[in-house]
Amino acid sequence: MYDTRLPLVRDFKTHYSYEQAVELITIALAPLGDEYTSTLESGLRGRWVDRYENKGKRSGAFSAGSYAGDPYILMNFKEDVFDDIFTLAHEGGHSMHSWYSTRNNPLQHYNYTIFAAEVASTFNEQLLARHVMNTTDDPSFKLYLLNKQLDDIIGTIYRQTMFAEFEKTTHEMVEENKPLTVDSLREVYRNLTAAYFGDEVEQHEWSDLVGLRIPHFYSAFYVYKYATGMSAALALANRVLAGGAEELDDYIGFLKSGGSKFPLEQLKDAGVDMSKSEPVDEALAHFADVLDQLEALL
CA atoms within 13 A on the CB side of 164: 15
Residue 77, classed as helix, strand or coil, is: coil
Give the Å distances, CA to CA, from 36 to 179, 182, 206, 286. Answer: 51, 48, 46, 26
| Cβ contact 290:241 at 8 Å | no
Give the Å distances, CA to CA, from 191 to 163, 216, 248, 296. Answer: 12, 20, 43, 33
Provide the β-strand partners of residue 50.
74
Instruction: Kindly give, in sequence order, each residue whose CB lies less than 8 Å from that of residue 182, ignoring residues fewer than 6 positions away.
Output: 212
Residue 158, classed as helix, strand or coil, is: helix
| Cβ contact 251:294 at 8 Å | no
SS3 content of the chain, % helix, strand, coil (to 5): 65, 5, 30
> Does the active-site annotation cover 91?
yes
| Residue of 19, 53, 79, 91 marked active site | 91
Which residues are annotated as catalytic?
91
